[in-house]
Amino acid sequence: MFALNKIKQTSADNLELEIKFLFNSSDVFKIKEKILEIPEIFYEGKVYEKTTMLDNQEKTMDKADARLRVRQINKQKGDKDSKIEFSYKRRVKADGGIKREEEIETAFTADINSFFYILNKMGYEITTSYERYRETYKTKDVKITLDEFPFGYILEIEGKEKNINTMRDLLKLNKEKSYALSCDDVYVELCEKENIKPKDHILFDDPEMPKIN
């Protein structure tokens, strides 16, 4: 049994706008300070997340440049009770550093193993996954997330285009240095630079993990 509590349905709701920036462990503290200086900023806290992608034998998601994604959210890694976000995402375009994606998402609580078993019965198998710790900040106009990945940090500003650009200016972030692709792409590029063979699962306990410089 699971309780459904969020779903996006209309085409207008399905378009997500965001801009991303990469940080290493040395620079991340400076951007945190800038975020906290923003008037009316609200800190929602920090959680552990594990995100798993799935596809079928026909490679439906891969052919559409889309993702079928299951995200487990816990206050701490290893907690038994998980919130699950289940979503379909498809890249649309990036314009002026702002990334546009079609996103349809629902959230619920459930036994994660049973949920994966249902997806397997429907023909979907796990392809890749990644871990991160997410800190969330909000104003009335935008959501800011600061994600710690095994390879470094990614800052994301989400909202309407005008509000995204206003926040970017407040944080003194250069849109020319934004990153339009996904965290998986960051990882693969870092692996290529360090001559490391990319793995399907991006985990904190991987001793061969590359790092953002």
pLDDT per position as a tens digit, 154-208: 999 999 999 999 999 999 999 999 998 899 999 999 999 999 999 999 999 999 9
Q: What is the pLDDT of residue 93?
A: 72
Tokens of 177: 């240095």
**Whole-angstrom Cα Rg for the chain:** 17
Instruction: Identify whether the C-beta of residue 68 lies closer than 8 Å to the C-beta of residue 55.
Output: yes
Q: What is the pLDDT of residue 6?
A: 42
* DSSP labels, 119-154: HHHTT-EEEEEEEEEEEEEE-SSEEEEEEEETTEEE
Single pTM value for the model: 0.87
Stretch among 40-44, 81-85, 103-107, 205-209 having the lowest mean pLDDT:
81-85
* Helices marked H in 12-73: 28-36, 60-63
Is the pLDDT score of 94 beyond 70?
no
CA–CA gap between residue 210 and residue 196 (Å, rounded): 8
